[in-house]
Structure 1
Amino acid sequence: MQTFDEAASGFNSTLPPPPPPPPPPPPPPPPPASFGPNYSEIQASVFTPSCATAGCHAGAGASAGLNLEDANSYAELVGIASSQDAGVERVNAGIPDISYLIQKLEGTVAGSSQMPLGAAPLSQTDIDVIRLWITNGAVDDR
């Protein structure tokens, strides 16, 4: 009598390959921003706590001549040429990609530091909210 191995040696056991594993689930969406795409909320949630601080963009000696304190920031941002690149507006209402503010927040200005300087960068979600405010015309809702 043949053993199992002897009997199986003449059997073609070629099976199709197993199906590939399912793809991994997509990553969860980023958390929503804690503020809306309007100037007053951006001022309160970003500019005041992250930018308008001593030694940065506050007071008479504000860095780059840009005072981001609540009473001054809108007038010093929208439609105003950057002191570091006169051909680029700090905020070009309607066009975030050529707004110096977005370039600085995303760290895409050659030879320049990403803002906020010396702190963790803003989340992409937060930058996207600022970008949406600019896209929508950079309106002062105060």
Structure 2
Amino acid sequence: MNDIYSNCLVKASLVPAVRTATATGTAVDRNEDGSMYQDALIVVSTGVITDGTHTIEVQDSADNSSYAAVASEFLQGTEPAIVAANDNTTYELGYLGRKRYLRVVSTVAGATDGGALAALVVLSGPRVAPVVRN
């Protein structure tokens, strides 16, 4: 099957929430159900950002234990520093690296009321298709 539903899987790293403090997202396994996805797109979506700066960082890991910031050469697009002027905005970042695990971190500075945001990882290009959904 060559359709998008059979070849993509969306996983939440940072679930939607109003954030006033730094948050580390849940790990996303690129080998979900043995599919070994070749491609990943990180989607950050904001709601109302009242105050503060919410700096997004994509991290990767080979072992789901030791995480590090993804080098800019392995990212398409720029990790955003989200402020109040960025209400209701969607950001997309392509991941070109080969590490198995990805997560998103939102580092918050200067927030009292904070801002609403979420980060999803869209996995595509599985070696085994169609995608298994749980």
Q: Same fold (TM over 0.5)?
A: no
Higher-RCO chain (CA-CA 8 Å, sequence separation at least 6): 2
Structure of larger gyration radius: 1
Report the structure, 1 or 2, having the larger strand content.
2
User: TM-score normalized by structure 1?
Assistant: 0.23
Report the structure, 1 or 2, having the larger helix content.
1
User: TM-score normalized by structure 2?
Assistant: 0.24
